[in-house]
Structure 1
Amino acid sequence: MTAHAFDLVLRHARVATASDVFEADIGIRAGRIAQLGNDLPRGEREIDAAGRVVTPGGVDAHCHLDQPMAPPLRMADDFETGTRSAACGGTTTVIPFAAQAKGQSLRAAVADYHHRAEGRASVDYAFHLIVSDPTPTVLNEELPALINEGYTSFKVYMTYDDLKLDDGQILDVLDVARRHGAMAMIHAENADCIEWLTKRLEAAGRTAPRFHAHARPMLVEREATHRAIALAELVDVPILIVHVSGREAVEQIRWARAHGLKVFAETCPQYLFLTAADLGVDDSYQGARCVCSPPPRDKANQEVIWDGLNDGLFSVFSSDHAPFHYDSPEGKKPGGEEVAFRHIPNGIPGIETRMPLLYSEGVLAGRMTLEKFVELTATGPAKAYGLHPRKGSIAIGADADLVVWDERELVLSNAMLHHAVDHTPYEGMPLRAWPGLTISRGEVLWDGQRFLGRAGRGRFLNCGAPSLLPRRG
C-alpha cells in the first residue's frame, strides 16, 4: 500500500498572505504546512478549493471568555461556546485574558483561567494577563516569571474601579515590560472625567443606555491616550493602545508615531459598523445591547478608522468579544432589572462575526486589499503577541490553520451564529461572504454548514517575544 505524501492537500487555492496573493496547492502533514506548489502529490484526503480565496486562520487577540465576574454577572460564553463560535467565523487562535482581581496573586489568576479553559477549547489559545493589583510581589516576582514562561503580554486599565491603575502603578508595570520584553496593552479612558460626567447625567435623570456615550466622549479617550503615550515615553517602552474608537485618539497616536515613539494600536468591528445611535435615540433600554467602552462614535469616525486600517496605523483588528445576554439577570439586565447606564455590563459579542464583516465590507466592498485583511486579522496579531510564524501565516512549517472563503450574499442573524449569546449587534446586516471551511492544524472544524470540532482539541500556546518589540541585546 503506497503511503500518501500528505495527510491533506487543499487544491487550487487562491492563497492570500500579508504580502502576496498566488495560486497554489497546500500540502499538510502532521498538522503543519509541509509544501506549497502546483500539482502536489496526492494526499490521504483531498479538498478542492476551486479557486476560492484561502487566508490564514484568524487570530483574535482580544476577546473575553468566562472571565470571572462579580455576581450576579456572568459572561454568556465559556471556552467551549466561545471557541466554537470563533471557529465557525474563521478564527483558529484566540487570546483571552487571565484577569487578576485586587488582592489576588497574578499566578492564582492564571491557574484559575487554565482551569476554566481545560478540556473546553476547540481552537488553540494563549492568555494575556490583566494586572489590576501591582504589588511588589507581582512586579518583582510573579510578572517577570510569567513573562519568562510564555505569558508575554498584559493589559492595564485607566478606567473601571475594580481594574484601574494610577499613573505611578502604570509606570511600574511598564518598567517590567521594558526590562523583560513584554507587550503592554492599555485601555485608555480617563476614569475621573467619566465619573464626573456620569454623576452630572445621573443628577439630571439621564440614565438611559444612550447616555453611556455622553459619559465617555472622545476627549476622555484622547486625554488618556495622550497620557499613556507620555508614560510609555518616560519609561522608553513600546505600548499597544486597545480598541481605539475614533479621530481624537487616532490623532494622538499619529503624533506619537511622528515623534518616533513605538505606539501600536488596535481597533474593532464596532467602530466600523456601529454608531452612538445604536445605543438608542430615545430612552429605550434596547440600546443596552451596544453598550461598550469606548462607545461607538459617529459615521465620520468610522471613516477615520477605515483610513487607519489601510495606512498602517492599526496593527491589530480584534473582536473585543465580551458576551453578555441582553435579556438576562446575569447580563445586560443585572438581577433582572433595567438599570442605569453606569450599571450595564460593558461589552458586545463579535468573535464569530469579526472576520466576515471585514472581509465583506473591506475586501469585497473594495475598501481594503486581501493582503491588508490578512495582516490585520491574522499576521499582525500573531506578530504583536509572539505567535508568528507558527500562527498567522501560510508558510512551510506554520500550523495548517486556514480559512476557505465562500463569496455569497447573506443576511446576518443571531440564529446563524454559534455563540451562547442571545443577540448580535449586527442583526440584519447584509454580508457578501462567510467562511466555507475553517481548518485548524489540518483538521476541518467548520464545513460551511456544521461545526465539526470538539471541546478539548485546542492547545494552549506559550507565546514568544512579541516581534513588534525591539530586540534586546
Structure 2
Amino acid sequence: MTTDILIRGGTVISESGRQRADLLCHEGRIAAVERDLEAPAGASVIDAGGCFVMPGGIDPHTHMQLPMMGTVVADDFFTGTAAGAAGGTTTILDFVGPDKGQSPLDALAAWREKAAKASIDYGFHMTVSWWGEGFAAEMPALVHDHGVTSFKFFLAYKGGLMLPDEEILAGFLRCRDLGALPQVHAENGELIAHLQRKLRAEGVRAPAGHPLSRPSQCEGEATLRAITMAELLKMPLYVVHVSAAEAAEAIQKAQARGVGVIGETLPGFLAIDASVYENPDFDIAAGHVMSPPYRPDGHPQALWKAVEAGTLSITGTDHCCFTRAQKRLGEDDFTKIPNGCGGVEDRMNILWALGVEGGHISPERFVALTSANAAKTFNLWPRKGTLSIGADADIAILDPAKSKTISASTQHQNTDFSVWEGRRLKGSVVHTVAGGRHLWADGDLRAEAGGGRYLPRAPFGSVYENLRE
C-alpha cells in the first residue's frame, strides 16, 4: 500500500534538462511536478534540499538466483532487488535461463516464481540456451502473451551456452519476424576454449589465466561478427557488457553506417583494469573473475570516450555475485572459478562519482545512461525513465555533497566481497521511492519481499520503430 509522498526542495533532473521543483507522488504515480506544492493531508514529506531528484535507476542486466558452474549466485530476487533499492535502482531486467532442451515457457514460469519475492519492479530477457524448432515455436507466446521481447544469444562458452553462427542467424531472423530485440554476449568461444586448453597445458591455474584466455581481440571479433549478421539481416542489435576498446570501435563504426546497434557497458569496465588478477591474494583476484574480464589499462579510457560520444548509451551491472567460498571452487583451476561480480547496489553511486564528479558526463547524461535510454530501448518508456506526470513514482534522490565509502561489510548485496572495496565516493543516493513506496531513507532500508511488479513489454514491431537510433 502506498501513501502520498511530497518531495520538496530538490532539483529535478531529466535526460533533457533540469528544474527547481517539488514532486508529488499519488497512488504510485507522479501526480505533479512544480514549484511550491502543498502536501496533501496524510502525505509524507521528503526534504530534498540541495539534492538532485531523478528517475529511479533501471538496471537492464542482472542475474538473480542463477544456477552457474556448480553453485547458485549469492543474491536471490529479494536480497538483490533490496540492494538495488539501497542504491537508487527501482527496476531490473533479469535473464531467464532454460536448461538445454527445456521449454522456454516452462523456464519463464519457474523464473516468475523465483522473482515473486522481488522488492522492486522487474522484467525478463530470455536466454537462448539452445536452438531448435521447439524453442522457435514458443517464441511468439513469449513475445505476445508474456511480454518477453528481448532474447540473448551467446557467442562464448563453448560446450555450454555458445551457439553456432547458423543457429544465431536463425534466432535473429525469428526475432526480426516477431519484433523482438536480439542481444549478444560477444566473445569468440572457439578461441577462448583453445587458449584455456593451452594455458592449462602450460600449468597456468591461477586467476591470472582468466584474462589471458579471454583477450580483448576475442570480444572485438565476436562483436563485429554479430554486428555483421544484424546489418545484413537489416535488424537492430544490443551488445551487452562491452569491456574492450575493439568492441566499442566496432559499435561506433556500425552506428556511423546507420546500423541500429546499441552498446551497454558496466561501471567497473570504466574504472578497474586487469592488474587486479595479479593480486597474490586468491580471494581478491578470483573475486574479480567475470566474463568478459576487466581489461588492461587503456581500455577503460577508450570506453569513457565511447560513453562521452554516445556510442555506449546504457549502463548495466551484469550483477552476478558470489561469495569468497564460492569463488574458491576454482582454487586449483581458473576455468572453474564461478564467473560474476556484484554491482546492483553500487551502479548509480559509482557512475555519479566516476562520471559526473569525474567530469565525463553531465547529470542529464547520467539520467540517460542509468534510466531513460534503457526505458526507451526496452519499451518501458514513458512509464519508466522519466518523472513526467503519469509515470511510475520511481525516484532516486542523490545528495552530491554526501560522501560514501563502499565496503563488503556494509553493503546489502548478499556477498562478502566487493570489487569497489574501500573506494570513497562523492555523491550518494539518500532516498529511493519505488512505485510510490519509500524503500531507502538515508540508511534505512525498508524493502519488502513481493513489493515489485512484473513488467511485460510490448514487441517493437516489424521495423523496430520504437528502438533508439
Identify whether the pair has TM-score above 0.5, normalized to the shorter chain: yes
Q: CA deviation at 1:191?
A: 0.6
Picking from 16, 27, 30, the partner of 1:30 is: 27
Conserved 8 A contact 2:29-2:391: yes
**Structure 2 residue identity aligned to 1:195:** A
The correspondence for 1:430, drawn from 418, 424, 429, is 424
The 3-state SS of whatever aligns with 2:33 is strand
Q: Does the Cα contact within 8 Å between 2:57 and 2:90 map onto a contact in 1?
A: yes
- Which of 154, 161, 164 aligns to 1:163? It is 161
Amino acid aligned to 1:332: K
TM-score, normalised to structure 1's length?
A: 0.94
Cα RMSD (Å)? 1.7
Q: 1:247 aligns with which of 242, 245, 248?
A: 245
Matched residue, 1:121? 118
Amino acid at match of 1:61: P
For the 8 Å contact 1:183–1:469, the answer to whether it is kept is: no
- Stretch of structure 1 that moved more, 341-350 or 47-56: 47-56
Number of equivalenced pairs = 459
The residue correspondences of 1:311-326 to structure 2 (distance < 5 A) are 311-326=309-324
| CA distance in structure 1 between the partners assigned to 2:29 and 2:223 by the alignment | 40
Gaps of 5+ in 2: none
Q: Distance in 1 between matches of 2:304 and 2:59?
A: 19
Q: Give the stretch that moved more between structures: 296-305 or 462-471.
A: 462-471
- Aligned partner letter, 1:349: G
* 1:250 shift after superposition: 1.1
In structure 1, distance between residues paired with 2:458 and 2:349 = 29
Give SS of 2:298's match. Answer: helix
Aligned residue for 1:434, secondary structure, equals: strand
Equivalent residue of 1:242, what SS? Answer: strand
**1:321-377 deviation digits (Å, cap 9, x = unpaired):** 011111x2xx2122xx61311111111011101110001111122221001100010
Question: Counterparts of 1:21 and 1:220 in 2: how far apart (Å)?
Answer: 41
Percentage of identical aligned residues? 38
Counterpart amino acid of 2:359? Answer: G
- 2-structure distance, mates of 1:254, 1:39: 44
Match of 1:332 among 322, 327, 330: 327
Cross-structure match for 2:7: 10
Contact 2:274 2:297 in 1 (8 A): no
Q: Give the Å deviation of 1:234.
A: 2.5
Query: Equivalences for 1:25-174 in 2 at 5 Å?
Result: 25-43=22-40, 44-69=43-68, 71=70, 73-118=71-116, 120-139=117-136, 141-149=137-145, 150-160=147-157, 161-174=159-172
- Which amino acid letter does the alignment assign opposite residue 405 of structure 2? V
SS at match of 1:134: coil
Check 1:466–1:438 CA distance in 2 against 1; reply closer, same or farther (3 A cut).
farther
Distance (whole Å) between structure 1 residues aligned to residue 201 and residue 45 of structure 2 = 66
Q: Residue 3 of structure 1 corresponds to which residue in structure 2?
A: none
Give CA-to-partner distance per residue, 1:202-254, whole Å, 9 cap, x none. Answer: 11111210111111111101110111011112221100111111211111111
Provide the secondary structure at the position in 2 that maps to 1:367: coil
Confirm whether residue 399 of structure 1 aligns to residue 392 of structure 2.
yes
Helix, strand or coil at the partner of 1:437: strand
Which residue identity does 2:328 align to in structure 1?
Answer: K
Q: Aligned partner of 2:25: which letter? A: I
2:225 aligned residue: 227
Letter in 2 for 1:464: A
Cα distance change on mapping 1:468 and 1:353 into 2, 3 Å = farther
Write out aligned runs for 1:273-292 (5 A): 273-282=271-280, 284=282, 286-292=284-290
Q: Give the alignment's TM-score, normalised by structure 2.
A: 0.95
d(CA) in 1 for partners of 2:64, 2:124? 11
Q: Tell me, which stretches of 5 or more residues in structure 1 are unaligned?
A: 1-5
- The aligned amino acid for 1:250 is A
Alignment-mate amino acid for residue 131 of structure 1:
V
Cα distance in 2, alignment partners of residues 162 and 391 from structure 1: 35
Render the CA deviation track for 1:280-311: whole Å, top value 9, x for unaligned: 25584530100011111123111111111121
- 1:149-228 aligned at under 5 Å gives the runs 149=145, 150-160=147-157, 161-228=159-226
* Post-superposition offset of 1:422: 1.1
- Name the CA distance, whole Å, in 2 between partners of 1:132 and 1:187: 12
1:358 corresponds to which of 331, 351, 358: 351
Displacement over 4 Å in runs of 4+: 281-285, 466-469
Question: Any idea what SS the aligned residue of 1:27 has?
Answer: strand
